[in-house]
């Protein structure tokens, strides 16, 4: 038994040419392979619909099909309907319908936002509220762009729904249609508050989660929080780029955090508890007596937290800071003279007791 072309198009055997055409358009658009990529079932259905229409739209072929349709050897049109011929048939009958459909539903634009956070916030993770001016769905029309009870959008009369217009001459380029802004559609009854755009500029806010260990330049994509689409198209995304402020003391290297700890001669010689900056605030660190410049102390677990496993460490590098005598003013000033007197005292003791600075002493002896 051959295919029932009427059943395929979902029409009665007595259907008018117009009814057949309408059914073909609706079904061909619904099953078109451009809308169902890699879907063999839709493709087969699309070919059947096209084959049925090729016969039923031609009065002579339809008459031959009608007289033979209940016979085992029904008239088939004699031609295989492949995918390309099926697509060509649709554009021959209705023009570039699918291109027009695509233009009508345009995705909204992405919104980009740069969020600057402190070094410690990026390392430990945080949540920030961002507030920005952007297009949001118009609350009056709910984003449709049409006023309540409106007649719905119509095809743009200037470009015929293509969204673009060809200039004069065979080689003239296509340019976006100025009347419909390339949409191919125009609201007959636009919403007064958004003038048909379906969107209004408004203040929007959004909470952004910054996971622990976030590095500068990282991007968070919040799906669907961009500008609303046009004529029912999907909204764009909100793209938040994280910018991390430098910290005056702390620097990140992978999972570890590095810092330098300046010490006075007295602190370095005596050791003891010294406050050290860290991402979780100042921590008191026990400095061993006699520590030297370049010595490294490791603060376990004070680095970058990890999703799995133990956090990184903070590495503290000791740097002895040499006094700047000029800061006390010129010689003759009370503070400067007092400090220099103490230095002279120190030097005396250091010479008397070479074991205080053994490396220095042994080099001077040889010299």
Interacting residues with Zn ion between 142 and 171 (CB under 5 A): 156, 158-159
Site string for Zn ion, 89-128 (x = CB under 5 A): ----------------------------------------
Q: Does 140 bind Zn ion (CB under 5 A)?
A: yes
From 27, 134, 141, 316, residue interacting with Zn ion (rule: CB under 5 A)? 141
Closest-CA residue to 194 (of 132, 134, 133, 139): 139
Interacting residues with Zn ion between 193 and 222 (CB under 5 A): 193-194
Which CB, 158 or 338, lies closer to Zn ion? 158
At closest approach, how far in Å is the CB of 145 from Zn ion?
6
Q: Does 185 bind Zn ion (CB under 5 A)?
A: no
At closest approach, how far in Å is the CB of 180 from Zn ion?
3
From 111, 135, 138, 261, residue interacting with Zn ion (rule: CB under 5 A)? 138
From 23, 86, 137, 191, residue interacting with Zn ion (rule: CB under 5 A)? 191
Q: Does 49 bind Zn ion (CB under 5 A)?
A: no
Which CB, 159 or 268, lies closer to Zn ion? 159
At closest approach, how far in Å is the CB of 150 from Zn ion?
10
Which CB, 201 or 245, lies closer to Zn ion? 201
CB 127 within 8 Å of CB 210: yes
For Zn ion, the binding residues (CB under 5 A) are: 138, 140-141, 156, 158-159, 177, 179-180, 191, 193-194
């Amino acid at each position: 038994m051959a295919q029932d072309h009427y059943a395929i198009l979902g029409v009665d055997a007595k259907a008018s040419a117009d009814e057949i055409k309408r059914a073909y358009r609706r079904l061909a658009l619904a099953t078109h392979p451009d809308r169902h990529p890699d879907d063999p079932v839709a493709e087969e259905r699309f070919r059947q619909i096209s084959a049925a229409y090729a016969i039923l739209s031609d009065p002579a072929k339809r008459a031959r099909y009608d007289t033979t349709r209940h016979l085992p050897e029904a008239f088939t049109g004699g031609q295989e309907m492949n995918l390309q011929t099926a697509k060509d048939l649709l554009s021959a009958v209705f023009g570039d319908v699918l291109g027009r459909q695509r233009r009508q539903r345009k995705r909204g634009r992405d919104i980009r936002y740069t969020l600057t956070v402190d070094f410690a916030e990026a390392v430990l993770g945080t949540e920030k509220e961002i507030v920005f001016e952007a297009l949001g769905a118009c609350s009056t029309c709910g984003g449709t762009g049409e006023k309540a009870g409106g007649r719905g959008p119509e095809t743009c009369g200037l470009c015929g729904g293509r969204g673009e217009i060809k200039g004069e001459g065979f080689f003239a380029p296509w340019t976006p249609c100025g009347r419909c802004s390339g949409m191919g559609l125009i609201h007959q009854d636009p919403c007064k508050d958004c003038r048909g755009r379906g969107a209004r500029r408004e203040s929007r806010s959004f909470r952004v989660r910054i996971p622990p260990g976030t590095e500068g330049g990282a991007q968070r994509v919040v799906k669907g929080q961009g500008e609303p689409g046009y004529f029912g198209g999907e909204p764009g995304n909100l793209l938040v780029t994280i910018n991390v402020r430098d910290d005056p003391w702390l620097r990140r290297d992978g999972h570890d955090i590095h810092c330098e700890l300046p010490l006075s001669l007295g602190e370095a010689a005596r050791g003891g508890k010294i406050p050290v900056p860290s991402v979780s605030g100042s921590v008191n660190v026990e400095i061993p007596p006699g520590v030297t410049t370049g010595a490294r102390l490791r603060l376990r677990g004070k680095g970058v937290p990890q999703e799995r496993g133990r956090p990184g460490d903070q590495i503290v590098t000791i740097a002895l800071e040499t006094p700047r005598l000029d800061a006390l003013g010129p010689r003759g000033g009370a503070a400067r003279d007092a400090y220099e007197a103490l230095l002279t005292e120190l030097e005396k003791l250091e010479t008397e007791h070479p074991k205080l600075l053994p490396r220095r002493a042994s080099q001077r002896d040889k010299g």
